[in-house]
C-alpha cells in the first residue's frame, strides 16, 4: 500500500513542533455539538464533517505530503482547528465574513478550506494567475476582510487594497531547511481555546460556503455562489465516480483555486486518501512523484495530460493511475498515449458554476456494454451527469427544447441539480441572464449522441480556453481599447499547440495616433493575467461587424 510507505518514509515534521493539545479523548475532541432542539435524524450536509470523521478513523495515516514534509490526519485536524481559532480570535472573523485565499497548492490552502467553513465564514479562493487590478477587483467585490496569501503572490495585491485587509502570510515551507513561515508560527502560537464542539459551524446546509470568481463571456469576473450542501454532494459524488479510497494517493496537478480544486480537497479527506501538494508544473518532478509515491489519481487540463504523456521520463506503470481531464476536449491520440502508460483517462466537463466537473465520460466498468473497438471513440466525448447532479441537457437556444439525440443538432448545455450554483454574488442581473426555463445555461454548445452522452462542439463564442483557464475575449478587448491610441479591438481564439487556444488581438489604431505591438502587450501585462495577454497583435484598418 503506497500510503503506508509514505507514512514511514517521511518525517512527521510539523506535528513535532506544535504544542500538544489537551488530553480530551479523540472521539470527544472531534465531536460537533448538536443544537438544542435539532431533530436526531437530520444533520446539515457540510464537508467539514468529513475531516472530523477522518481524523478519528485515519488518525496516524498520512493525509498530506508537501516536499520533504508530511503529516497525518490528526495533525491536519489539529492545524485546521488552530487556524479556525486564529481567524476567530486574532482576526475577529464573524459568520458570513469573507476570507480570501491567494495561495498555490500548499497545506495552508487545504486547511483554510476546512477552517473557514468551520466558523461559518465564506471562502473566496483567488486565481493565482490574475494580475493586480483583477485581484484588487475580486477582493473589493467580495468584500473580503481577511486574506491568506503566499509570500510570492503578495505583490499582486495593491498597497491600497492591502491597507483594508487583515493578512496572514504563508511561506512555501516544504523542506526542513526552508526559512521560517509566518503562517506556521501563527499556528504554533495559537491556543485552541475553542474545540471543534465550540465552533460556530453552519446549521443551514443551503448557506453560502464559498464565492468562486470566474471569467465568463462578459468581462469582469463573476462570483459564483456555492453552498455547503452542494460541496458535500459534489465531494461524495467524486468519491464514487473517481473510486477514491484510503489507498488513493492524489497528486495536486490541478490548481486548488479552480472550483475549489474540483471539490477534491473534501472528497480526498472523506475517503481517507493521501494528498500530495504541488506548486509548480515541473513534469520531471511530477514523474518522479508518480513513480516514488505510486500516485493513483491526478486531474488537469489537456495541457497537463499532454505533457505527462510525452515527457521523457514517462514509463508504463505497473498499476493503473486514474487521470481526469477537463477544461477543453482532449485529442483521442493523447487518451490512447496515456492508456499505453497505464494511465486511464476520464474526460470531464463542467464550470465553476457547476462546482467543477459534473459531467464525465464512461469509466472502464461502464464500457463493458460496448464492443472494445468503440471504447476510445466513446470516451473521447464529454459524457453524462455525475451521480449527484441531475441529467445534463442540450437545449435549443430559442425554444428551450431538447435537441434531437442524433450527434448533429447543436444546442446549449444546460444543468440543474444539487451541484448547480445558487447565483452570482451581488449580481442579480448576470444571475437572471443565465437561469432561464428553470435551468442553468452554460454558454457552451454541444450535440447529444444516440446513447445520451453529450459532446462539446464549441465553447461559448466569447470565451477562449487556454490551458484550462477561461479568458473573456471582451475583457481583453476592453483592456486594449482602454489605451488612448486604440479605437477598436477584436479578440479571437488562435490555435496553440501547447495551450489549446490563445487570444489573438486585431487592433485598429485611432486616427492621427500610433502605437506598437509591444506597447499593447505591455499594457495588457500590467492589467491582465499573463495567460490572458494576446499571443499575437495584428493591426488592421477596420473590424467587420457581423452582428
Tell me which stretch binds its own copies (CB under 8 A): 94-102, 129-137, 154-162, 236-244: 236-244
- Burial category of 274 from C-beta neighbours within 10 Å (exposed 0-12, middle 13-18, buried 19 and up): buried
- 264-303 residues near its own copies, rule: CB under 8 A: 270-272
Measured from the CB of residue 216, what is the shortest distance to its own copies in angstroms?
17
x/- mask, its own copies, residues 308-347, rule CB under 8 A, reads ----------------------------------------
From the CB of residue 432, how many other CB atoms can be counted at a distance below 10 Å?
Answer: 11
Measured from the CB of residue 99, what is the shortest distance to its own copies in angstroms?
23
193 touches its own copies (CB under 8 A)? no
- Helix spans in 360-507 (H): 375-379, 428-434, 473-481
Q: Which of 452, 482, 495, 530 binds its own copies (CB under 8 A)?
A: 452
Question: Contact 145/97 with Cβ under 8 angstroms?
Answer: yes
166 touches its own copies (CB under 8 A)? no
Q: Which of 158, 203, 284, 366 binds its own copies (CB under 8 A)?
A: 366
10 touches its own copies (CB under 8 A)? no
Measured from the CB of residue 224, what is the shortest distance to its own copies in angstroms?
11
Tell me which stretch binds its own copies (CB under 8 A): 26-34, 215-223, 465-473, 480-488: 26-34
DSSP string, 295-359: --EEEE-HHHHHHHHH-TT----SS-EEEEE-SS---HHHHHHHHHTTEEEEEEEEEGGGTEEEE
Residue linked to cell 465531494: 235
Q: Which C-beta is closer to its own copies: that of 43 or that of 176?
A: 43
204 touches its own copies (CB under 8 A)? no
- Quote the CA–CA distance of 465 and 445 in Å, as a whole number: 14
Tell me which stretch binds its own copies (CB under 8 A): 84-92, 228-236, 332-340, 458-466: 228-236
- Quote the CA–CA distance of 316 and 2 in Å, as a whole number: 18
- 341-360 residues near its own copies, rule: CB under 8 A: none
Reported in sequence order, the residue ranges of 352-499 that DSSP labels E, i.e. its strands, are 356-360, 384-385, 393-395, 411-415, 423-424, 435-436, 439-448, 454-458, 463-466, 469-472, 486-496
Tell me which stretch binds its own copies (CB under 8 A): 252-260, 301-309, 418-426, 476-484: 418-426
- 47-86 residues near its own copies, rule: CB under 8 A: 49-50, 52-53, 56-61, 72
- Quote the CA–CA distance of 488 and 52 in Å, as a whole number: 55
- Quote the CA–CA distance of 264 and 260 in Å, as a whole number: 8
3 touches its own copies (CB under 8 A)? yes
Tell me which stretch binds its own copies (CB under 8 A): 133-141, 279-287, 344-352, 382-390: 382-390
11 touches its own copies (CB under 8 A)? no
| CA atoms in the 13 A half-sphere facing the CB of 342 | 13
Q: Which of 21, 132, 217, 404 binds its own copies (CB under 8 A)?
A: 404
Question: Contact 546/513 with Cβ under 8 angstroms?
Answer: no
- Binders of its own copies: how many residues, by CB under 8 A? 77
Amino acid at each position: 500500500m503506497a500510503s503506508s510507505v509514505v507514512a514511514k518514509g517521511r518525517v512527521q515534521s510539523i506535528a513535532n513542533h506544535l504544542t500538544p493539545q489537551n488530553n480530551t479523548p479523540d472521539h470527544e475532541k472531534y465531536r460537533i455539538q448538536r443544537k438544542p432542539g435539532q431533530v436526531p435524524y437530520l444533520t446539515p450536509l457540510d464537508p467539514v464533517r468529513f475531516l472530523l470523521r477522518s481524523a478519528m478513523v485515519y488518525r496516524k495515516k498520512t493525509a498530506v505530503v508537501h516536499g520533504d514534509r508530511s503529516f497525518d490526519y490528526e495533525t491536519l485536524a489539529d492545524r485546521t482547528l488552530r487556524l479556525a481559532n486564529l481567524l476567530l480570535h486574532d482576526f475577529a472573523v464573524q459568520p458570513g465574513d469573507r476570507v480570501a485565499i491567494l495561495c498555490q497548492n500548499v497545506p495552508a490552502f487545504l486547511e483554510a478550506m476546512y477552517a473557514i467553513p468551520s466558523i461559518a465564514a465564506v471562502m473566496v479562493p483567488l486565481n493565482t494567475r490574475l494580475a493586480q487590478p483583477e485581484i484588487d477587483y475580486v477582493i473589493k467585490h467580495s468584500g473580503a476582510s481577511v486574506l491568506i496569501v503566499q509570500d510570492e503572490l503578495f505583490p499582486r495585491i495593491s498597497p491600497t487594497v492591502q491597507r483594508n485587509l487583515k493578512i496572514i502570510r504563508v511561506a512555501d515551507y516544504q523542506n526542513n531547511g526552508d526559512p521560517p513561515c509566518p503562517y506556521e508560527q501563527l499556528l504554533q502560537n495559537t491556543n485552541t481555546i475553542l474545540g471543534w464542539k465550540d465552533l460556530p459551524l453552519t446549521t443551514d446546509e443551503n448557506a453560502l460556503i464559498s464565492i468562486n470568481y470566474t471569467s465568463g463571456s462578459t468581462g469582469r469576473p463573476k462570483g459564483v455562489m456555492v453552498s455547503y450542501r452542494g460541496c458535500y454532494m459534489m465531494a461524495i459524488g467524486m468519491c464514487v465516480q473517481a473510486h477514491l479510497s484510503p489507498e488513493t494517493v492524489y497528486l495536486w496537478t490541478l490548481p486548488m483555486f479552480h472550483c475549489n480544486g474540483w471539490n477534491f480537497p473534501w472528497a480526498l479527506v472523506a475517503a481517507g486518501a493521501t494528498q500530495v501538494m504541488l506548486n509548480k508544473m515541473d513534469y520531471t518532478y511530477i514523474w518522479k512523484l508518480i513513480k516514488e509515491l505510486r500516485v493513483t489519481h491526478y486531474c488537469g487540463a489537456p495541457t497537463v495530460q499532454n505533457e505527462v504523456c510525452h515527457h521523457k521520463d514517462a514509463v508504463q506503470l505497473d498499476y493503473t493511475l486514474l487521470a481526469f481531464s477537463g477544461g477543453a476536449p482532449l485529442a483521442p491520440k493523447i487518451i490512447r498515449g496515456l492508456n499505453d502508460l497505464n494511465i486511464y483517462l476520464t474526460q470531464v466537463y463542467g464550470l465553476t458554476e457547476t462546482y467543477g466537473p459534473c459531467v464525465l465520460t464512461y469509466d472502464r466498468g461502464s464500457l463493458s456494454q460496448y464492443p472494445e473497438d468503440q471504447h476510445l471513440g466513446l470516451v473521447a466525448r464529454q459524457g453524462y451527469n455525475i451521480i449527484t447532479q441531475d441529467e445534463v441537457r442540450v437545449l435549443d437556444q430559442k425554444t428551450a427544447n431538447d435537441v434531437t439525440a442524433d450527434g448533429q443538432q447543436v444546442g446549449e448545455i444546460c444543468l440543474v441539480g444539487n451541484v448547480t450554483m445558487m447565483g452570482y454574488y451581488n449580481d442579480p442581473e448576470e444571475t437572471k441572464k443565465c437561469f432561464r426555463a428553470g435551468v442553468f445555461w452554460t454558454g457552451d454548445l454541444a450535440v447529444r449522441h444516440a446513447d445520451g452522452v453529450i459532446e462539446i462542439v464549441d465553447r461559448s463564442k466569447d470565451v477562449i480556453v487556454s490551458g484550462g483557464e477561461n479568458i473573456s475575449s471582451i475583457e481583453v478587448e476592453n483592456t486594449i481599447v482602454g489605451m488612448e491610441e486604440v479605437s477598436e479591438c477584436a479578440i479571437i481564439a488562435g490555435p496553440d499547440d501547447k495551450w489549446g487556444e490563445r487570444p489573438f488581438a486585431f487592433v485598429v489604431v485611432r486616427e492621427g495616433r500610433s502605437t506598437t505591438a509591444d506597447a499593447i502587450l505591455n499594457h495588457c501585462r500590467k492589467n491582465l493575467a499573463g495567460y490572458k495577454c494576446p499571443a499575437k497583435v495584428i493591426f488592421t484598418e477596420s473590424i467587420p461587424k457581423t452582428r
